[in-house]
Structures are given as structure tokens and as C-alpha cells.
Chains A and B, each alone.
Chain A
Amino acid sequence: MRCGFCLPACPTFRETGIEAESPRGRIALMKAVADGIMNPDEAFETQMNHCLGCRACEPACPADVKYGQLLEQARDSVEKHTTTHRWWVKIARKAAFEGMFPHQNRMRLLGGGLQLYQKTGLRKLLRGAGIMKLFPPHMREMEAILPDASYKGVVEQIGTHHAAKGEQVAAVGLFRGCIMDVLFTETNKHTVELLNEAGFDVIIPETQNCCGALHAHSGEQDGAKELAKRNIAAFKAAGVDWIVSNAGGCGALLVEYDHLLQDDPQWKQDAAWFAARTIDVSQLLVRHGRLQSAAQAAAAAGAGSVIGGGLQTAGGAGCGGSCGGGVNFASGETVRITYQDSCHLRNVMRSSEAPRKLMRSVANAEFVELAEADRCCGSAGIYNLTQPQMAGQILDHKMEHVKRTGAHYLLTSNPGCLLQMKNGIEKHGMSGQMQALHVVDFLHERMCGTAGRSGSPD
């Protein structure tokens, strides 16, 4: 089927207008390779790398073509055949995919190193000495907006078990992520507090590790599978009702573990169990959290406002308090907020409504829809580092829309997008009037009246 419905949804097609840069074109290339009409040569590899992997083409496709799976297979076969990676790329990849990401503790060491670098003045020194200039500009930009890293992850800081406030709705396991836990430890902590407040027991299984998304999306299928198995085992052992993710990029792979392990008879069933229970934090809050029952209660009482029209703002709530009456979003001044979808949350986990419902329910916050929020911001894993030109072009278009919202807060649901948005705000000279935050941090700030740390400009 080559109807082309996916073309208008694709950011790279939109930037170039060239068929080969479209989902339909890329699928044709993959098919040509499969049929032996074309070799998986350098041009093919380049084209596969040009794809953001944002998967906007999937919900656009009425035929339900699973583009993401095709892409992963294609990248996997490129990885197996490639001759173009230079030796140092190979070593770096090996270090990252086999040496770093699979090991939560090593990631934290890396975080520690980064922290050391950031805290000790080494950063200042290097920047002052102009050594950063040796790096290409897009790397320098990214370095500048990296939040303060931490070598103590969420478990090291607050432990593994956190009881619900009030009556327990369900027990959930938090997927803490690797990058998330190093660069956005505070967001993980805030997620726990928010979930407790909404009635969930939170367990953070210690033996969990990286989700494997970077592996899977870079053609390292085998590595991804190993990681998946370890995570499944960790969460099965924890005996939870839901597995919560607060990073769209990770969540999207977690919900596809069943697909990843479909040919593994030993793991198939457990993978299905895992995939069926994985849910994004926003969706969990809206669908099952006490949030909803609070809204329903308000509606039933015929008083107060409900979700979608501003949630009740009655006092007494707050993570420090012991109300146990569900999350209430209250705060002082009215701010304007807007939202950039995480592609994977939207296109793979198919959740675009839940975060919006939450944001609309925050009192004293005016939610404005960002034009083309459903379009990839160009972050796409490490795409902004590997394809700086296309990523930059996409980001520039994105920031034009962002500017028009006049928002104080630009919220997102994924660490990669968050960094990219911070980068965009910086690049377009908007840091004076606007701040990028994870949705969870914003909700937490409104709930507890404390500013989210990861949002503080550095």
C-alpha cells in the first residue's frame, strides 16, 4: 500500500519535499533492499539515519503499517553490514551500548563524572580556555544546557518504597530510566511524590536498568532484548499493578517489549504481561489516580470545577500535608503554559489527551495549544547530535510556533525533548521570558508550591 497518507505527517518530508525522505519512500527503500534490488549501502544507511524515528507516520497510516518495527529491522541489518562506521565510532558505540547504558551504576558514575565536571569548576575552566570551541557548535549548545547531573539516583536519594497518601488505589513500579535518573533525578522524585499524593504505592525496583530504546533505535536489537529481560524480571518480582514511565522515549519501548521478545518462547508471556501494564505517568493519573475521583466527586456535588475546566483549588493539599484527599493543583499567580508532545508518547503510547487534561486542570494556569505540537522537535534520541542540520532546521520551525504562544512554561514529557526545548529557548534568545519543564515538575511545583529544581536556570 503506497497511498501516501503518511507523507504530510513526516517532518523530514516536510523539510525537504523529497520522496526518499518520506515514510513511503523509506519503506520502498527497505523493500528494495529486502527484494535485493538495492544494497544496504551507505546512501541507504544515511537515509535510515535521516529518519527521526518519531513515528508520526504510524497514527497517520490507515492501513496500520508498523513503520517503527520496519525501521528497527532496517537499522539492525545496516548495523550488521555496515562498513562505514569508522573505528572510533565503533569503539564509542561499543562503550555506550555494551559498557554504559546496560549498567545503572555505571550510568551513575558517568553522572558523577559529569557532576564533578560541572561542579568543580572544570566546566568553567574548559569553557574559559575555549576548549569547548573544539567541539562542533551543536555539541557545545547541548553541553551548555545540560542540567546539573547527579551521581545519586532516585533510589539512592529516597529509597525504594513509598506509601500512598490515604487509601491506596494501586501499587505501581516506577521506571526510573538511565538518563532520566542521572540528569533529572528531581523529576523522578517529583513523580514519586505526585503518585503518592494521587493514591499510589510506589516501588522503584533496584535491579531495573536502561530500557534499551537507544539500542533498539540504533540497530542493536540483541542488546535491547537483554535489557528488556532484566527489566521484566525486576518488575515481575516487585509485584506491581502498573509500571509507570515518565519519559515517552522509554515508555514507548517498554510497551513494545512484547513485540521485541515475540520470538522468545521463554519470555514471550512475561513480556506481554509487562507491556500490558506499562503506562505513562500522565495517563495513570488521569485514568486511575485519585485525581479523577476528585473530579468526579466535584462533578457529582455539582460544585467546583472538574478536569478539563480547571480542577478544584481548595486548600489543604500539598505533598507536605497529610490530607490524603487526592491531588489538588493550587498556586498563586496565573501563568501561561504550553506543551510539546513527546513523539513516542503520542505516536506509540498514543497518549496526547492525558497530559493536556492534567495541564488544563491546573488552577491559575492558562493552557495554550502549541501549533504543531504533534510534530517532532528534532531531538529524537541522539538525532540532534548525529544530524545537526536537519535537527536545527526542525527546531527553528518549532521555536517560531513556541514564540507565538507567549507561554511562561513550555512543558514536555520526555528528557530528550526537554533538553531540546531548553536548547531552543536558549538559541532563540527567549530564556528571559520562558522556561522549559517536565510536566511532572510543573504539576509538582503547583501542587507543593516549590520550584522544580531541574527548571532553575543555571
Chain B
Amino acid sequence: MLQDAIAGKLRAIVGAQWFKDDPESLITHSYDGTPMLQSLPDGVIYPANTDQVSSILKVLQAHRIPVVSRGSGTNLCGGTVPVQGGVVMVMHRMNQILEVDLENLTATVQPGLNTKAFITHVEGLGLFYPPDPSSMAISTIGGNIAECSGGLRGLKYGTTKDYVIGLEAVLANGEIIRTGGKLMKDVAGYDLTKLLVGSEGTLAVITEATLKLIPPPKTKMTMLAMYKDLYGAARTVSKIIENRIIPATLEFLDNPTIRVVDDFAKLGLPLDMDAILLIEQDGDAATVERDIARIADICRSENAERVSIAADEAEALKLLTARRSAFTALARLRPTTILEDATVPRSKIADMVLAINDIAKRHGVTICTFGHAGDGNLHPTATTDARDADEIHRVEEAFAEIFEAAIALGGTITGEHGVGLVKAPFLEWKVGAAGIEMMKAIKKSFDPDNILNPGKMFAKSARKRVVLSRG
């Protein structure tokens, strides 16, 4: 509980209605999309504008009270679980599109804006904002920026960081900074914009963002390639890239994932296949057709059983939407679903899929795999039961080995979901001890009292590497 005096100050800033500390509000802000994590905050606050954010931070800084910025709480790394209590600051009220600049092709928005609402709005204006995390129907732009989210279109169009060109943010001491702007070129000093993108609410609170928009592709085609052989599918991914074709979307789903997705979306997917690739190409009509034909050839050369093309836009959309539900749909299998985010260079996809299956077998756990294969970004997902401590332990060990394997293949411990609480013990594996020290120094200069999302990103102690025995 916050002291009455502090709660009073916060109420005075936002109005009594927008600061809450009743049990109901605390419980409903004690979790996010990550399984098995929960911790109660002391209060929940809903600011309406940048000045309020600034005033709130001044009060919290003065009393060294932690603050967790929160969009829709869909992140999968425990990023918004208030592990040290304090105040959860929900950005939902700041949800306006402030401007779409048709001359510069930029949009300026507030952080609480729903991602899909934004995408729909700019598409209505004949423009295109590519970052489309599978959670886009729920997530906010602020959350996307803080996690540097990627999506189904990341392969060809890049991720959130490639579209954020300017930010307004409030520092821990309440000061407001502006970075970048409606500029395609800007090298004035360190690139604070890029630093804040992916900073997971640990460096500053983002209160406004200027985003780059691009013209939309003229046409697109969507196809499914189906395989009886998992590795054939994985090899196809590498081969498409090797052949210098960059599809807009190149997604991988293994058999258990196909089954649960179909159970939800009732698409009539081929349940007897070991894997399917969902491939989309966009651009001008001639290129699209040529690319799709060449991709189909590659699929067949890697023993695809069948290749089919979506009849129309509606069917394509259904397929993509179904793919976006994969993570949640896997919860149909077992009570607890733990999804990870290992990423490797694209040429190593087949090796990684092999490694995952091997590791799962050795630890006696079930791990389904799907993901943005074209980015090398796989989501090995354990279907398990949180009540079985022994099994959960084996799952954790298996994931540790999966990260190890990813790094050994030149990959990383997270491709898009961020470090948060969950990956903190593994961060050092990726960036090294000196890297961690550097990052901590940056954190300290932004937030000397460690009030911004404390406990995230940096673990008290790094996890020891497990010895990898690949047989």
C-alpha cells in the first residue's frame, strides 16, 4: 500500500477516478501475457497526457517508488509484472492519432493507441504501417515500441525499430525529452530514438511517437506448402532466401500447432502433415506471380506434398489470423503453455528445428514449434502443467539448452519478445559480461534510482551455462 499522502498526490494529478488501489485493480494488473508470473502492485494510475506522466514521475521519484508502464499487458517476458510493487501506469487513455502527415508520410501517435486500430486507420488513407505482431488486435503502439515487436511481415519490411523515427519520452526525474522527428536522416548525437526502442520501460516512459509510413504493396498472393517431412519444410525456408527471394511472410507451423489452430479456426488444414509453411508475397503483380511460382518450385524440390494458393483475400486473411492464434491455441493441449523466442540466422533454421526436437526428446517434454521462420525467429512452445514441479523443471532445463543451441548457431535468446523478467538470467550469454556492464551504465544514467520497471532485463545472477551434449 502507498502512504495516504502519496496516493493523495497521485489522485490530485489525474483525478480521483484515475488512481486506483482497490484489490480488484491491483489483482488485474498483477500479470501479463506470460504464464506463471504474478505480483501485486500498490496502485494503478491512468494518465491522460504527457504533463501528468511528468508530474507522476516526479512524485514517484521523490519517494523512490517503482513504476511499470503498461500497454495492454500482452508481452511474453514478464515485462509488466510489478515484481517490486509500486505503481502500474496504464497508457490506455493516451490513445490518439495526433496527426497523419500525408506530405512526409509520417504519423504521430500516443502510446496507448491500439496497434490494429492504427494499422486500419492508415490503410484507410492508402498507406502502410508494416509492423504487425500477432497480438496487434490487442497490443498498443507504446508496448510495440518498448519491446521492438516484430510480426508476420518482418522478413521483408523489418520490425518496429525500422519505423520509429521520433519519440517524446519522460525521464525518471519527470523531465521530458524529444528525440528524432519527421526526418529520414538525423545523426545529431547518439541515436536515443533507437536506444529507447526495445528498452522495455526501463529507461523512460514513451508518451508520443512519430512513425514512418510507406506506400502499400499493389497486390499480394498467399500460399500454403505442406510437408510430410519437417526438415524438408525447414530446408525450404533457407533455400528460398538463398535463391534471393524475400517473401513478405514466411511462417512455419508444425503438426501439433496445425491441429490446434485448425480446431480453433476451422479452416480444414491438412492434419496429417508434419509441417506447413504459410508464405505471402506482395508487390507489383508480375513480380508477385513470378516469385510465387519460383517459391512453389523450391517447395516441391524439397518434397512438399502439396502447394496451394489462397483463393482470395478473405481466405488469405483467415490463414494469417489463424496463424496469429497459434500460441494461445496450443493451450488446448495442456493447462500451461510456455512459449520461447529463440532466433537463428535464416540458413540455420533446419539445424535449429532438429536441435529443438532432440532436446525436447532428451528431457521428456513436449515442445511444439511454429514461428516467423523467414526471420529465423522460432517459437518453441512447451505444453505442460504448472502444477507438475518436476516437469516444469525439465521444461526449464530444455529451454536453457535451446537458448544455448541458438547462440551456438549464431543466434540469440530472444528475437522479438524482449528480456523482461524471463530472459534476464540468460542475457549475459548473449551480450557478455562487458555488454551487461555497459547496459547497466546506460540504465543508471537514465534512471539513477532504479524506479523504472526495476527487476527487468538485469538478473541478480546470470544463469550458469549448461553443458551441451549434442549426440
Q: Which A residues have a C-beta under 8 Å from some C-beta of B?
A: 1-5, 7-8, 17-20, 22, 25, 28-29, 32, 37-38, 41, 43-44, 47, 61-65
Contact = CB atoms under 8 A, between A and B. Distances in A.
A369 B138 CA distance: 25
Contacts of A47: 24
Contacts of A4: 33, 72-74, 135, 138
Contacts of B379: none
Given A19-B73, A64-B264, A1 B35 contact: yes
Interface stretch (B273-281, B329-337, B442-450): B329-337
16 contacts: A2-B32, A3-B138, A4-B74, A5-B325, A5-B328, A17-B92, A25-B28, A28-B28, A29-B28, A32-B23, A62-B325, A62-B331, A62-B332, A63-B329, A63-B332, A64-B264
B23 A2 contact: no
Given A8-B138, A17-B92, A28 B328 contact: no
B24 A43 contact: yes
A5 B138 CA distance: 7
Contact of A44 (B24, B72, B114): B24
Contacts of A44: 24
Contacts of B332: 62-64
B25 interface: yes
Contacts of A38: 23-24, 27
Given A18-B92, A25-B28, 20 more contacts: A1-B35, A1-B337, A2-B31, A2-B73, A3-B328, A5-B328, A8-B114, A8-B116, A17-B93, A19-B28, A19-B73, A20-B24, A20-B28, A28-B30, A38-B23, A44-B24, A63-B331, A63-B332, A64-B264, A64-B332
Main SS of the interface on chain A? loop
Contact of A1 (B92, B114, B138, B331): B331
A145 B347 CA distance: 68
B95 to A, nearest CB: 8
A3 B327 contact: yes
B27 A29 contact: yes
B31 to A, nearest CB: 6
Given A5-B138, A43-B22, A43-B23, A19 B29 contact: yes
B96 to A, nearest CB: 13
B329 A28 contact: no
Interface string B91-131: 01101000000000000000000101000000000000000
B293 interface: no
B328 A1 contact: yes
Interface of B: 22-25, 27-35, 72-74, 90, 92-93, 95, 114, 116, 135, 137-138, 260-261, 263-264, 325-329, 331-332, 337
A28 B28 CA distance: 6
B33 A2 contact: yes
A25 B23 CA distance: 12
A2 B135 CA distance: 12
A22 B35 CA distance: 18
A5 B73 CA distance: 11
A8 B24 contact: no
B27 A28 contact: yes
A321 B317 CA distance: 47
A32 B40 CA distance: 11
A93 to B, nearest CB: 24
B422 to A, nearest CB: 14
A62 B27 contact: no
Given A28-B31, A47-B24, A63-B332, A7 B72 contact: yes
A332 to B, nearest CB: 35
Nearest to B263: A64
B28 A62 contact: no
A61 B29 contact: no
B328 A61 contact: yes
5 closest A-B pairs by beta carbon, nearest first, are A63-B331, A62-B325, A62-B328, A62-B329, A25-B28
A56 to B, nearest CB: 13
Nearest to A16: B92
B90 to A, nearest CB: 8
A8 B116 CA distance: 10
Nearest to A9: B137
A353 to B, nearest CB: 12
Contacts of B261: 62
A2 B331 CA distance: 10
A8 B137 contact: yes
A43 B264 CA distance: 34
Contact of A3 (B30, B33, B116): B33
A4 B328 CA distance: 9
Among A3, A25, A61: residue with most chain B CB under 10 A: A3
A41 to B, nearest CB: 8
Contacts of A2: 31-35, 73
Among B73, B135, B261, B328: residue with most chain A CB under 10 A: B328
A37 B39 CA distance: 11
B390 to A, nearest CB: 22
A48 B32 CA distance: 21
A8 B90 CA distance: 17
A405 B116 CA distance: 25
Contacts of B90: 19
Among B22, B27, B325: residue with most chain A CB under 10 A: B27
A291 to B, nearest CB: 24
A15 to B, nearest CB: 12
Contacts of B264: 62, 64
Contacts of B34: 2
B24 A63 contact: no
A19 B72 CA distance: 8
B27 A32 contact: yes
